[in-house]
Structure 1
Amino acid sequence: MSRLIEWFGHNPVASNLLMWILVIGGLLALPRTHQEEFPTIEVDAVQINVPYLGAAPTEVESGVCIRIEEAIQGTEGIDKISSSASEGFCSVVAELVEGVDKTKLSNDIKSKVDAIDSFPAETEKPVTAEISIAATVLQVALSGDADERTLKLLGQQLRDDLVALPAVSQVDLLFARPYEISIEVSEQALRRHGLTLAAVGRAIEQSSLDIPGGSLKTEGGEILLRTRGQAYVGREFEDIVVLTQADGVNVTLGEIANVVDGFEDSDLRARFDGQPAVALKVSRVGEEDVLAIARQVKDFLLQAQRDLPDGIQLTIWQDESQDLVDRLDALAKNARSGLLLVLLVLTLFLRFRLALWVAAGIPVALLGTVALFPATGISVSTMSVMAFILVLGILVDDAIVVAERVYSYEQDGMGQLAAAMAGAREVSVPVMFGVLTTMATFIPIVNIPGPFGNFFAPLGWTVMLALMFSLIESQLILPSHLAHRKPEAVIGSGGALQDRWLALQGRISDSLQTFATRYYQPAVERAIEWRYATLALGVVVLAITLSLFASGRMTFQFFPAVEGTHLYAALTLPEGTPVEATSRAVARLEQAAENLRAELDAGHEEGQPSMINHVFSSMGSFIPKGSIGGIEGAQSNLAEIGIELNMPPGYEGEPASAMANRWRELTGGIPDAVELSFTSQAFGAGNAIEFELYGKNFDSLRDVAAELRAALQGYDGVLDISDSFRAGKQEVQLALLPEARNLGITLEDLGRQVRQAFYGYEAQRIQRGKDDIRVMVRFPDSERRSLGDLESMRIRAADGTEVPFSSVARATLGRGYTTIRRVDGQRVVTVVADVNRDITPPEAVINAVIANDLPDILARHPGVSYSLAGESEERSRSLGSLGATTLLALLVIYALLAIPLQSYMQPLIIMSVIPFGAVGAIIGHLILGMPLVFFSLLGIVALSGVVVNSSLVLVDYINRQRHTGQSLDWVLSHAGSVRFRPIVLTSITTFVGLAPMMTDNSISTSMFVPMAASLGFGVLMGTVVTLFLVPCLVMVLEDWLVYTGKHPPPEQAVGGGLYTGNETG
């Protein structure tokens, strides 16, 4: 390294070229790096979806889900198999072992599923695909006083126009029911013409079709032959002949049936600000640029609005691109403020040109890092920008050590070139290994497993890349700049300004040196004299800090609720609730939202915008808490209401969580609601409380879930308690009477004919434009409303005999399940709840339930077991990994310290600072009034490598002075004062670089404050410990070596005798 430093030092062209390569490379890479609010979270899982239309959940479970589970069970690479059987739909999710070939395993699973030949005949083809999360860029509400068909047609046209934009590749139309052609034939009409629903369906199949007939090769050329008869719209189906009577008269479909060319018979609908609506969701796929997509979409919408009919509005809803801009702007503001503070500190403590070249290392390192973003797959996101903020002050640490040493040699009379080379060479080893130790502490952050790891990995890699480039800059570029810099002057070279500035620098420098010699040196001498009392004091500080957790003054919460700019309420009513009842409940939530608006706007001046921008409500669908694979189709008992808040950048008013709680209070209880939850969380690690209950018996699972819900209600701060067990719709269970067998009617005949009458016979599917439309033959709606309609229908035997339903079958009422969830072959019921974290942390509630409630509950229900899921599962996995990899990182740090120091004991002395850095982090959280969270732990882990750097610089200096023959007492009493300025300066720059983030109260940056606090306050505490405790530990080690006879007593010691700790073994 010394030769490399010398070569670059004597060749300023090479150092400047290297600097400009890094700077220009970063500037060129920045436009090619895609931007996103949070890093894309990849899910290692494969999903298999199978529609089994019209089937009950129990039929879906036994006929589809279990068969898929058995087919893929035991496949190498599958970690967990989960399934969900709902009405008419099966979804199976195979979670994969981390690191397997996802594409290959997906193909293996698909082959095994496609090979299943025992699915019921009514199932559709399984769809097997890797789970990929398409990040939403924004949603657009298309609303107005228009009918459903008009809104859908306009929505489809807008979707096609949006997809045609260069930057856009995926747009989904939401809350628009699929088209369907329903051919309704009454029982009376069937009997009058001697037909069955299946016969009508077959007639449609045989008449509504196009058949290619090959070609005629004539002398004039080839002529294609085609039979064309495919019907596409309702009136064309009406002309289809279904029966030719004996007298030759044709009976058309229109004469015996009511053909309805309309929408699927479902309860999907939406309202935006009280008007009927559909929504367009624009998503980002792969590396597409969020801001480019948003910009093109917004420009298009301005033009499209002018072309829409009067009364139809296009409104942007859920603009994630704006959230990205706001969050990045807030972080960039903190970064700029931190950078300015770092520059100010440098110019106050160092000569101006010296400070300027030290500070130049920051943009060089940052742009060098950005230059590698495209190659490494790192995006410009909140995590990568936060990484830059974390290292703002750290990046100059090595440069400060180099520059301060160079400046010391210059003050001793050396020339600039000689001083630069001597200073850089002298500190090259501690600087290089100091940076490597800091990089090592980010190993745990880039190795967090699972989807959570994808979120944090870019932060760790960004920091490590920045540190690598800062090392290159401080060792190869900075010495050359210091060696060839111009004579000292302030920008502008104004004499008076320069004199005043230099005078201020002089006073600060003199004050710092005076403090070091007049106050610090006597204090450290006294501490060394009372070294065992000093160590005892350190132990007491550690004990008091730990007691903060025992006393409850400091708490730990795994993941803070990251609040967004939207409020959401999810409502579930009993299965089978009429859509009219659900609509009334939604109206109540909407009215509560308007009441909330009135309260929030009560103090506003005239013309001031409302705190609520829009209210969007939907009925028929949402993804319930704890579900797997969501819900297929629309259900009349489901609803979701969203409120878009007006929170401009830098908003520091009432938090969204408080507004959500107030919305809950204004809504009150909704009669018969099975679940009603409110949230303002934009990002989280899963449900705050989630228990998964396993067992074979659904009744036992239901009872345990009910008792667990009751237990959770007894804890303060627990909200929105619910479970995944849902009593399904009432169902009519059919059984054959003995008389049916005498007529040759089987259970399959009975079930098929009832299904055709009430669900429908799918005659065909047609492609009309881009819509796949089913043509269904069934009874009219008026004949599908009551048990009487079932009792009065006719069942046909194989010979054509018609008999009343009641003469061959029996119908009994029962109730099934809404959704049946399974995990690894066992049925599962999930109990979930939210927590008001201002009252109690989720961990405290979970631990109390496990200790006090669950043992008794499970003892009453043998055969039922449980596991933690949601945030608790992620906490266990992440903390377990963090603990193991942190131990590995500490071993790496130990090795990186032991190698240059050539000692086994000195690294332990240096690393003794680490726990006290954690103490500083905890004290910082206490000062700021924050609980310790997972981000805090990451800050503490990162802190471990930062705080040892100052200790390494101090111990390296002690070793060098011992080589000169000085006594250990003298070296220890003077080392701290000699190295006081670089040690303090590196700590101050790290702290002030993070200070703007720590004092930022905006919601955009709140999730990152704990990490900044851990690192900032931990560095300050580590500096104090470095300056006082490390010298004491060095002397304690010397006492031990003297006591064991491995070192002579002080009065017999001769200069030198570097204590390396090798004497201990």
Structure 2
Amino acid sequence: ENMYRPGLAWALHWRYVTVSTFIAVFLLTLGLVFGGWVKFVFMPNVEADYAVAMLTMPQGTPADVTAKAVAQLEHSALALREEIEGGRDDAQREVFRHIMGVIGEQPYRVAQRLNMGQAGVVFAGSNLGEVTIELVLSEQRTMSSEEIVERWRALTGSIPDAVELTYTSSLFAPGEDINVQLAGPDIEELRHAAGVLKARLNTYAGVNEVTDSFREGAQEIKLAITPAAETLGLTLVNLGRQVRQGFYGEEAQRIQRGRDDVRVMVRYPADHRRSLGDLETMRIRTPAGDEVPFSSVAVAEIGRGPATINRVDRLRVINVTADVDTTTTDTSAIVSELVDRWLPELMAEHRGLRYSFEGQQREQKESLEALIRGFMYAVIAIFALMAIPLRSYVQPLIIISAIPFGIVGAVMGHIVIGMALSILSLVGIVALAGVVVNDNLVLVDFINRSRASGRSIFEAVYQAGVARFRPILLTSLTTFFGLLPMLMEKSVQAQFLIPMAATLGFGVMFATFISLLLVPSLYLVLEDVKGMVGRVVGRTSLELKGEDA
């Protein structure tokens, strides 16, 4: 208190310098956030007790080929275990508990969809595989699951013919870090644009697992008619129907056997529908009733079609996704550069396409809009509740000024503990808005009562600051130290609460300086402005009276 008295007197005497200093600190903090110096992630990377690799091979890949790819993942996981634990049978060095491989399905991805409310989604097929490393509890190891995944990825390398290989180690996955949905009428143009975008994303450091949602299906035979077929009046529909009838069959009748219906199919004998040569020698009937060889009216080409056809608003869509290492790269900065530069160039090159952000970016946008809307409603309610008893529209603004400056404390707190801002931090800021105004409200009311007792403005403000010094300081300290155990907690459950605790704890601590220095200075600045306005209005009134005389 002995140090605070002269400090308060100096701050009140140089009140414009004091206010300007706080504003400069606030602007500097905003610069750190929007300049990317303080990273922002949608959800914090909560340490999980497992690491998962999900493998997708081309459609139709035999199970034994997929098994070899899964074995490569398992061998690299075993090599990583040997590297970390050193082959010692020591409980203190144990990091891995179990390594489990699955062929033919992806249980982790199914569980993810189930948690997102998408029940019934199945990820099964001979081309799918998954390897899970079960780790000891995060409190019992010094190596994070994210570091384990990065090393596992490096040891595994590339898997031949793999369509997609995704690693994850986060307990909560709101969606891909980057998910750009391209939409257009032409699938080939979409694939070309997706390839250009993937190549661009691969140039960023810290961006991994860049892929798209287009998947080729199993091998198929594509038919096309020749000009000779058109001359004969043969259409592609008619050609396809005859090929289907010959090789798949046409239902001739159904026979009832007990409770079952037995379909009788008419088609070529098995010896005449085993190879592509059988198709080439097939006889095709023309509309005139003549029969001609298949090779004279059609062309058969072996290829792959899409495994699935995805449409949004009747347009074909391809999603380009990527994972971002948030410890080294800022996702928001990459998204901003995509929006400002690369995507407009891509749309200019492909006029018929359009894009939108899905996944985590869409969820982030919707959550931020809802949070900002709720925050504004809360500030308006706080202003109204204080304006009524104070009978002033200006003094509540002085009290509310603690809210933006409380954000400064929250950001500084995240810098101190080395944590990125997240949506949970912003939720804490909304809660902080209702906490930091309390001390200011009591302080302003104390000043008003002192002035009503006959003290001068300066004396009332000074005495109010001195009188409220201990209560404000003790309230802030008890709040901060009450939240400190949560900030130091290492359990998985606490990771969702730590960002909010950091925002509240450090925000309240910085709000102490606001209440003890900024609010008294703002009160005097307000009185200076009121006095200046009063003198200008009074001088104008005298001039008007002089003109009337």
Q: Distance in 1 between matches of 2:184 and 2:347?
A: 11
Measured after TM superposition, the shift of residue 991 of structure 1 is 1.0
Structure 2 residues without counterparts, runs of 5 or longer: 539-549
Q: Distance in 1 between matches of 2:34 and 2:123?
A: 50
The match for 1:598 is 82
Measured after TM superposition, the shift of residue 827 of structure 1 is 0.6
8 A Cα contact 1:531 1:1032, kept in partner: yes
Q: Distance in 2 between matches of 1:738 and 1:964?
A: 104
Measured after TM superposition, the shift of residue 874 of structure 1 is 1.4
Q: 1:716 to 1:807 in 2, by over 3 A?
A: closer
Q: 1:610 to 1:939 in 2, by over 3 A?
A: closer
1:866 correspondence with 2:355: yes
8 A Cα contact 2:212 2:319, kept in partner: yes
Q: 1:1026 to 1:607 in 2, by over 3 A?
A: closer
Q: 1:659 to 1:858 in 2, by over 3 A?
A: same
Q: Distance in 2 between matches of 1:973 and 1:1024?
A: 15
The match for 1:832 is 321
Q: Distance in 2 between matches of 1:631 and 1:535?
A: 58
Q: What amino acid maps onto 1:549 in structure 2?
A: V
8 A Cα contact 1:566 1:642, kept in partner: no
8 A Cα contact 2:239 2:284, kept in partner: no
Measured after TM superposition, the shift of residue 987 of structure 1 is 1.4
Report the structure number with the largest CA radius of gyration: 1
Measured after TM superposition, the shift of residue 886 of structure 1 is 1.7
Q: 1:633 to 1:965 in 2, by over 3 A?
A: closer
The match for 2:421 is 932
1:535 correspondence with 2:19: yes
8 A Cα contact 1:739 1:808, kept in partner: no
Q: Distance in 2 between matches of 1:686 and 1:872?
A: 8
The match for 1:521 is 5
8 A Cα contact 1:734 1:810, kept in partner: yes
The match for 1:683 is 172
Q: Distance in 2 between matches of 1:938 and 1:764?
A: 67
Q: 1:621 to 1:790 in 2, by over 3 A?
A: farther
Q: 1:713 to 1:814 in 2, by over 3 A?
A: same
2:404 to 915, 933, 943: 915
Q: Distance in 2 between matches of 1:588 and 1:766?
A: 51
Q: 1:531 to 1:556 in 2, by over 3 A?
A: same
The match for 1:995 is 484
Moved more, 747-756 or 705-714: 747-756
1:130-184 Cα deviation digits (max 9, x unpaired)? xxxxxxxxxxxxxxxxxxxxxxxxxxxxxxxxxxxxxxxxxxxxxxxxxxxxxxx
Measured after TM superposition, the shift of residue 562 of structure 1 is 2.8
The match for 1:549 is 33
Measured after TM superposition, the shift of residue 763 of structure 1 is 8.2
Q: Distance in 2 between matches of 1:963 and 1:1047?
A: 25
1:717 to 190, 196, 206: 206
Q: 1:813 to 1:763 in 2, by over 3 A?
A: farther
Name the SS for the 2:12 alignment partner. Answer: helix
Q: Distance in 2 between matches of 1:894 and 1:872?
A: 33
1:756 correspondence with 2:241: no
The match for 2:58 is 574
Measured after TM superposition, the shift of residue 1006 of structure 1 is 2.7
1:589 to 73, 93, 96: 73
The match for 2:547 is none
Structure 1 residues without counterparts, runs of 5 or longer: 1-514, 1050-1065
1:447-474 Cα deviation digits (max 9, x unpaired)? xxxxxxxxxxxxxxxxxxxxxxxxxxxx
Q: What amino acid maps onto 2:322 in structure 1?
A: A
1:942 correspondence with 2:431: yes
Measured after TM superposition, the shift of residue 717 of structure 1 is 0.6
Q: Distance in 1 between matches of 2:137 and 2:27?
A: 44
The match for 2:542 is none
The match for 1:410 is none
Q: What amino acid maps onto 2:5 in structure 1?
A: Q
Q: What amino acid maps onto 2:245 in structure 1?
A: Q
2:96 to 585, 607, 611: 611
The match for 2:376 is 887
Q: What amino acid maps onto 2:15 in structure 1?
A: R
Name the SS for the 1:671 alignment partner. Answer: coil
2:221 to 729, 732, 736: 732
Q: Distance in 2 between matches of 1:534 and 1:784?
A: 90
1:941-964 Cα deviation digits (max 9, x unpaired)? 211111001111111222233333
The match for 1:981 is 470
2:45 to 527, 549, 561: 561
Name the SS for the 1:1005 alignment partner. Answer: helix
Moved more, 873-882 or 598-607: 598-607
1:363-374 to structure 2, matched below 5 A, reads none
1:503-522 to structure 2, matched below 5 A, reads 515=1, 518-522=2-6
8 A Cα contact 2:246 2:268, kept in partner: no
Q: Distance in 1 between matches of 2:167 and 2:133?
A: 14
Q: 1:681 to 1:792 in 2, by over 3 A?
A: farther
Q: Distance in 2 between matches of 1:835 and 1:811?
A: 44
Q: 1:685 to 1:749 in 2, by over 3 A?
A: closer
Measured after TM superposition, the shift of residue 684 of structure 1 is 2.5
Name the SS for the 1:725 alignment partner. Answer: coil
The match for 2:543 is none
For the aligned residues, what is the CA RMSD?
Answer: 4.0
Name the SS for the 1:650 alignment partner. Answer: helix
1:902 to 379, 391, 395: 391
Q: Distance in 1 between matches of 2:324 and 2:312?
A: 26
Instruction: Give the percent of matched residue pairs that are identical in Structure 1 and Structure 2.
Output: 43
Q: 1:780 to 1:964 in 2, by over 3 A?
A: farther
Identify which of structures 1 and 2 has the higher relative contact order when contacts are C-alpha pairs closer than 8 Å and 6+ apart. 2
The match for 1:967 is 456
Q: Distance in 2 between matches of 1:930 and 1:850?
A: 26
Measured after TM superposition, the shift of residue 1007 of structure 1 is 3.6
Measured after TM superposition, the shift of residue 739 of structure 1 is 13
8 A Cα contact 2:36 2:333, kept in partner: no
1:192-251 Cα deviation digits (max 9, x unpaired)? xxxxxxxxxxxxxxxxxxxxxxxxxxxxxxxxxxxxxxxxxxxxxxxxxxxxxxxxxxxx
Name the SS for the 1:855 alignment partner. Answer: helix
1:1026 correspondence with 2:510: no
Q: Distance in 2 between matches of 1:925 and 1:872?
A: 22
The match for 1:697 is 186
1:510-560 Cα deviation digits (max 9, x unpaired)? xxxxx3xx2323321221122112112212222332332366432222322
Measured after TM superposition, the shift of residue 1008 of structure 1 is 2.8
Q: 1:761 to 1:936 in 2, by over 3 A?
A: farther
Moved more, 871-880 or 852-861: 852-861
8 A Cα contact 1:562 1:1007, kept in partner: yes
Measured after TM superposition, the shift of residue 851 of structure 1 is 2.6
Name the SS for the 1:965 alignment partner. Answer: coil
Q: 1:873 to 1:784 in 2, by over 3 A?
A: farther
Q: Distance in 1 between matches of 2:304 and 2:177?
A: 31
* Number of residues of Structure 1 aligned to a counterpart in Structure 2: 522
Q: Distance in 1 between matches of 2:488 and 2:252?
A: 66
Q: What amino acid maps onto 1:753 in structure 2?
A: Q
Q: Distance in 2 between matches of 1:647 and 1:914?
A: 42
Measured after TM superposition, the shift of residue 792 of structure 1 is 7.5
Name the SS for the 2:381 alignment partner. Answer: helix
Q: 1:519 to 1:582 in 2, by over 3 A?
A: same
8 A Cα contact 2:48 2:138, kept in partner: no
The match for 2:345 is 856
Measured after TM superposition, the shift of residue 900 of structure 1 is 1.8
8 A Cα contact 1:652 1:1002, kept in partner: no
TM-score normalised according to structure 1 size: 0.45
Q: 1:805 to 1:718 in 2, by over 3 A?
A: same
Q: 1:688 to 1:914 in 2, by over 3 A?
A: same
Name the SS for the 1:557 alignment partner. Answer: coil
Measured after TM superposition, the shift of residue 976 of structure 1 is 2.3
